[in-house]
Structure 1
Amino acid sequence: MTPHVFCLVSERDDLSLLHALADAGVDGFQVRAKTLATGALVALTRAVLTAVRPSGALVVVNDRLDVALAAEADGVHLGADDLPVADARRLAPGLVVGATCRSRAEVVTAAEAGADYAGFGPVFATASKAGLPAPQGIGAVSEAAGVLPLVAIGGITAETAAEVRAAGATGVAVIGAIWRHPDPVGAAKELVAAVA
């Protein structure tokens, strides 16, 4: 099942809040820590798993199939420059495989390669990742919906999450809407309510 709220987690975030976030209804966590050495990334992934698995949340690792397998995570999320989706599916047939997509055509390609969901965006402007293309807007979500479950990402807030869901997204992925909020757990509860 594709999560309704994916929270991206790095080594800079307050890991002591993970259990509370999962209890608040965040049902997916993506470990994304691009600068960590492999051993540290495995350890971070295991810490996330320990904190959120009791709540039944899904845990995927960004970019790194090897780390997902070593840490016994639920899956991997792959970008355009990462291991191809078809190779990840062949190497780890039991894992959830997500793919970053920026158009309906890319979603179709990801589906044909065996992806389970598409991370789609950026929908709105975001300060969480540099070098992204221009925000695509709600219309792009509607256009891309219906091929794979879509997880919309990029500038999503509790205020816009319901709109994104109404446009056809299965769920949303967030960083700043939780981690840069003064009350991360309260913000998570608002997001969960908005996408219910």
Structure 2
Amino acid sequence: MLPRLFCLVGPTDDLSVLPDLARLGVRGFQVRAKHWSTRVDDRMALRLARDVVAAVRPHGATVVVDDRLDVALAAGADGVHLGALDLPVADARRLAPGLLVGATCRDADDVRRATQDGADYAGFGPVFDTLSKPGLPAPLGLDAISAATGDLPLLAIGGMDAPRAREARSAGAHGVAVIGALWRQPDPLLAARELLDAVA
């Protein structure tokens, strides 16, 4: 079953917290290393993905890798999440039929295309303003979630906290993906508990 809460994990995050998050009930982790691009960095990305898998899989959590099907496969991750400039979803599905495949979507048409191409879920956003990733388009708002439901489970992302996660679920999202709502909080475990309650 697709987790309702995904925690995005980057190279500067405190990986020692991951087993505790997984034990608490966070069942989705997405490895995200946007700024790595060289071959040396490929090895660092692979190491990060393997570290995340080792930290959370013993507790039953799912790990997807952002953008990189090759890293997902090499790390033994459960899936890959693909954006508009990444390997097409249909090709990822053909190359790795057993992996969970997510697609970044911004409207109902994107979701329909992702469904036809074989995606398992849509990362939908940004729903609200966010500080975690510069250069994003304007926030979509909750009505966009409602308009895009039906074809794929939607994981709302962008400016999420516990109250907004609850609103996203009410609007039709399957769950949420978060960065700052965990990593910028003084107590990530308390924040995770509140988010889990919000998306339950």
User: Could you list the per-position Cα deviations for residues 133-168 of structure 1 after superposition, in whole angstroms to 9, with x for gaps in the alignment?
Assistant: 100111000001111000000001011111100111
Aligned to 1:121: 125
User: Structure 2 CA distance, aligned partners of 1:134 and 1:55?
Assistant: 37
Aligned to 1:100: 104
User: Structure 1 CA distance, aligned partners of 2:11 and 2:179?
Assistant: 13
User: Could you list the per-position Cα deviations for residues 60-81 of structure 1 after superposition, in whole angstroms to 9, with x for gaps in the alignment?
Assistant: 0000000000001000000000
User: Structure 1 CA distance, aligned partners of 2:171 and 2:162?
Assistant: 15
Gaps of 5+ in 2: none
TM-score, normalised relative to structure 2: 0.97
Q: Any runs of at least 4 consecutive aligned residues in structure 1 with deviations exceeding 6 A, and if so which?
A: none
**Structure 1 residue 54 displacement after superposition:** 1.3
Aligned to 2:14: 14
Q: Quick one: which of 132, 141, 144 aligns to 2:145?
A: 141
Structure 1 residues 65-104: aligned runs within 5 Å? 65-104=69-108
- Aligned amino acid, residue 30 of structure 1: Q
User: Structure 1 CA distance, aligned partners of 2:35 and 2:106?
Assistant: 24
Gaps of 5+ in 1: none
Aligned residue pairs: how many?
A: 196
TM-score, normalised relative to structure 1: 0.99
Structure 1 residues 49-60: aligned runs within 5 Å? 49-60=53-64
Which one is further off, 5-14 or 31-40? 31-40
Which SS does the other structure have where 1:143 is aligned? helix
User: Could you list the per-position Cα deviations for residues 77-101 of structure 1 after superposition, in whole angstroms to 9, with x for gaps in the alignment?
Assistant: 0000000000000000000000000
Report the aligned-residue RMSD: 0.6
**Structure 1 residue 170 displacement after superposition:** 0.5
User: Structure 2 CA distance, aligned partners of 1:181 and 1:98?
Assistant: 27
**Structure 1 residue 35 displacement after superposition:** 2.5
- Aligned amino acid, residue 32 of structure 2: R
User: Structure 1 CA distance, aligned partners of 2:191 and 2:31?
Assistant: 19
Aligned to 1:23: 23
User: Structure 2 CA distance, aligned partners of 1:16 and 1:175?
Assistant: 16
